[in-house]
Structure 1
Amino acid sequence: MKKKAISSLLAVLCVIFVLAACSNGNSGNASNGSGTPVNSESATVEADHTGEDDAAASNDEEFTIRVGSWFLDDRPYQQAYMKAVEEGYKKLYPNAKIQWDITLGATYFDKLKAQFASDSAPDVTFFQKKDWFKAGNFMDLTNEPIVSRLTDAGKKSPAVLYEGKLFGVPLGSTPAGGVWYNMDLFNELGLKPPTTVQEFMDVCEKLKAAGKTPIALGFKDVWTAQLFMSLWLQSYGFASDTDYGMKMYNGEINFDDPAIQAVFKNFQTMQEKGYFNKNALSIDWPASAQLFASGDAGMIVQGPYMPGTNKDNIQKGGFKPFQLGYFPLMDDKGNTQVPVGTNASLAINAKTKLVPESKALLDVMTSSEVLGSWLAGEGALSYFTDVQVKFDDPVMDTLKQYVDKSSFSNRIEDFIPTSATTAMTDLVTKVISGAPFHPSDLKAVQDAFEKDKATVVLPY
């Protein structure tokens, strides 16, 4: 999505941020934590609903339809989304059962690959990346009615477009995230959001001196380490050179580049100075979010779903509420980049035996009543013309301001093979464990890149 389009969409959202509790964990009738249904419907959705009684009368057979996912966990807005999908689908197929095949984390994709190889994959699945298109795993949706509901950006999203055809539908356009901080604690200690790496280190030192954990990490969930690393690399690399990714792909920049080394040196400095929780590698991300919500940690690096997640955690834990603040990770000079990408997409198994049933489920999962509140919980904008997203936390306006300043939405992972990303993430966890960083450690990343470069599907 172009910057101007993103800015316009986000500016509109600023006007409607006043809706309360968009992701606070209340169930209600909507799809996630807000409990607030979005009333606008497209002609397509209305047509589906107009025929609900007839569909219920003729589609009374019993069957089980499977949905695959790697992220639908026990957060209230996620649970509410699944419940809303089930309720909406029962209006069409009263005796149908939705089986949620959920494997949290990156291992889901390995499992899904094996399922496709054995013809046992779910009928409908959430996905990321394009590997599945080339393998012919997903149904071509180019001429399906659901596509008419997509925005122009949604129809052109590189997340679902392959060789001129749409093999899925993107759900939300999501800012990558950054550093979320306890604004009340910052005010109490006289701290301001840092604008340079040195200021960031200074803030960490003052939080530590006050008896707080500066940054809560939950690196048992390895994707959180990748997120932290990627966000920092974004500002060090792309903020000053939007061609940074292509230069890496073309071999003009190697992985021992000073910008990449700087990120790992920063991790080492923070680890040595005790700016992370000591159990950073043994707790998962929900536990780190609890540490932050309790007020024992001053900051956490996460995605745009943190406002709703933090509110839920404060309520569940009985912690003292506080206002959330946000700033992006920066380079030594204070340059920042906050990319915007597709958080997740939906596709239909090309070999499913439940073709009309799967298409109907896709309609329900992306309907205005179901999807809008879930996207609010994710901190995402909609790719559907008839789905509105409403935020209630003013911190999202701060995030918008940084997105407006950013000029590039691709991330380093878009230009390097998965094996190279994995090698870099492994190095982050190694440094957090206390091992000193040496530039020679990046040779393993370079080797992985050169070995698997051919697997990269470049962004258009």
Structure 2
Amino acid sequence: MFRGGPKWLVKRALVMILSVGMLAATACGDAREVEEGSNIEAFTIRVGAWFIDDREFMKQFQANTEQAYKKLYPHATIQWEITLGNAYFGKLETQLASNSAPDVIFHQQVVSMIEAGYLSDLSSEPWAFRFIPQIQQFLTYNSDKDEFKIYDGKVYAASMGVGIRGYWYNKTLFEQLGLKAPKNMQELLEICARLKKDGYLPLAAGHKDRWSLVMHFETLLQSVGYGADLSYGVGLTEGRNRLDGDEVASTMQFFETLYEREYLNRNALSIDWMQSLELFTSQQAAMIMQGPWLPGTVESKISSDAERFELGFFPISDENGYYDLEFVSDQYVSVNAASKLQEESKALIGAMLSDDAYLPFARENGLLPAIEGLRPSFGNPVMEEVFRYAEQAETNQRWTSFISTESHNLLLEEAQNILMGVPFERVNLVPAQKKLEEKLAVLKQLKQ
């Protein structure tokens, strides 16, 4: 069950879902047909993205998209303009400001780009209102500000899938040691103790990449917070819950336990996530906390049958076994409002959302489809485990959407200090709470 918050907070939340429909796959692409004598003019249409690299399934996504698009525009050429990583976003911002951005753009900032006037209205497209409910809630624009009311109720982007975060583990090793996936925080610590005793690093961590620590901390507090109060996020804004309260404190103490008992590598802040992956794939470490890309990345790193092992998954739970299974979507695709190829660009997104292009992309990316009624045939059995957890999960609005950036940064600094060996003290959480109170006071004044 998804629980949201006030309107002025909802639009800033990352997207989460409870479950994905179990219906048979149906075509969700573009319904246009090529009539005799139409669409014969040759043209080039540009696509901008940051994640389409040289992996085979990414090449296949491009090929599948091009094949679907050829049915609509036989003489069109798709020009893929790829800038890998964060450099893409700065480049895109500059291009949008100068009216030189590609016709079709992948991005992560739906709300801000709508409000800047950079995106075309896609509401009339056949797929525009076919997303799973929580994705649809996010994609269907809603604003409390009069200046943005013209965008209300309209759709300006499509989601390429939703991912899940949690603990991935070496199921082969667990079975050899007679271990089962833990159901709560205490069982996890007990398994860590057993693994360490048997000579394995329980948990591989590569937090030199700060996002990796952010992901672990945020996901844990999501379960701990909502396990204590199903309106935890709203409670932070109402004063019922606090950033110096029991939920945040117990989350910090869990990280401290992992560090003090050496259940994760002591050099966690000195190695990046790919180095932590090496600890996992070499079977030095039994578990790793990561996102949906983990199964595919593990597969690409294992080069022989001798190194291969079965992968398992379990969600991050609180001490009572409650887990808030957070799904996130961070690959959105839209039409550039300044493009001279509006209809052609909309049709191209339709081609990307066709079964032949969309389902293999989601499957190989470790994503669940964001479109209702679609379920890929997963090549890796672990994704069936993920799907089963998803069907049973609680899902609430991210707690981070209720606090200030300053508060968030202070909490992450404290978590980082713990992994540097600095003892945790509850008083260290007070500055984050004060920053939250300052934010709430400002928002209260603005709403009066």
User: Which of the five TM-score ranges fits, normalised by the shorter chain?
Assistant: 0.7 to 0.9
Q: Which residue number in structure 2 is paired with residue 275 of structure 1? A: 263
Cα displacement string for residues 318-356 of structure 1 (whole angstroms, at most 9, x for unaligned residues): 652111122111222332221334353222233334433
Task: List per-residue Cα deviations over 1:40-70 (Å, max 9, x = no partner).
Answer: 535x53535x469953x31x23x4624133x
- Of 185, 206, 223, the match for 1:197: 185
TM-score, reference length from structure 1: 0.78
- Partners of 1:432 and 1:155 lie apart in 2 by 35
Q: Is the 8 A contact 1:180 1:300 kept in 2?
A: yes
Contact 1:329–1:336 (8 Å) recurs in 2: yes
Residue 136 of structure 1 corresponds to which residue in structure 2? 117
Which residue of the other structure, out of 128, 133, 138, is the alignment partner of 1:153? 133
Shift, 1:263, TM fit: 0.8
Residues 435 and 119 of structure 1: is their aligned pair in 2 closer, same or farther, counting only changes over 3 Å?
farther
What's the CA shift string for 1:253-300, capped at 9, x where partnerless?
221111111111111221122222344223332332232122121001
Which residue in 2 is equivalent to 1:377? 364
Instruction: Identify if the C-alpha distance between structure 1 residues 152 and 212 changes in structure 2 by more than 3 Å, giving closer, same or farther.
Output: closer
Q: Give the match for residue 329 of structure 2.
A: 342
2:106 alignment counterpart? 125
Distance 2:67 2:183 in 1: 47
- Deviation at 1:244? 0.4
Of 289, 294, 306, the match for 1:301 = 289
In structure 2, C-alpha distance between the alignment counterparts of 1:111 and 1:205, rounded to whole Å: 47
SS for the counterpart of 1:346 is strand
Of the three residues 171, 176, 187, the one matched with 2:175 is 187
Please point out which of 8, 27, 30 is paired with 1:41.
27
Deviations 1:365-416 (A, max 9, x none): 2222111111112333323358542213333333334333323332212323
Q: Are the equivalent residues in 2 in contact too, given 1:423–1:448 (CA < 8 A)?
A: no
Aligned match of 2:315: 328
**CA distance 1:441–1:195, shift in 2 (3 Å):** same
Unmatched runs of 5 consecutive residues or more in structure 2: 4-16, 143-151
Q: 1:145 to 1:190 in 2, by over 3 A?
A: closer
User: Residues 444 and 77 of structure 1: is their aligned pair in 2 closer, same or farther, counting only changes over 3 Å?
Assistant: farther
- Aligned with 1:190: secondary structure? coil
Identity %: 30
* CA distance, structure 1, for counterparts of residue 36 and residue 267 of structure 2: 52
Q: Which amino acid aligns with 1:143?
A: S
SS at match of 1:299: strand
Change (3 A) 1:248 1:215: same
Instruction: Give the CA deviation at 1:79.
Output: 4.5
> For structure 1, which segment, 215-224 or 383-392, has the greater mean C-alpha deviation from structure 2 after superposition?
383-392
- Following superposition, the deviation at residue 252 of structure 1 comes to 2.7
**1:397 alignment partner in structure 2:** 384
Decide whether aligned partners of structure 1 residues 152 and 403 sit closer, same or farther in structure 2, where only a CA change above 3 A counts. Answer: closer
Higher-RCO chain (CA-CA 8 Å, sequence separation at least 6): 2
Partner of 2:83 in structure 1?
101
Separation in structure 1 between the aligned mates of residue 93 and residue 120 of structure 2, nearest angstrom: 16
Q: Is the 8 A contact 1:240 1:335 kept in 2?
A: no
Q: Match of 2:21?
A: 9
Report if the CA contact (8 A) 1:141-1:147 is conserved. Answer: yes
Task: Provide the aligned C-alpha RMSD in A.
Answer: 3.4
Q: CA contact under 8 A between 1:101 and 1:122: conserved in structure 2?
A: no
2:160 corresponds to 1:171:
yes
Q: Give per-residue Cα distances to partners, 1:67-124, cap 9 Å, x unaligned.
A: 133x4455543454345445655673544422123324xx765665565455555541
Name the count of aligned residue pairs: 418
SS of equivalent residue, structure 2 residue 228: coil
1:67 counterpart = 2:48 = yes
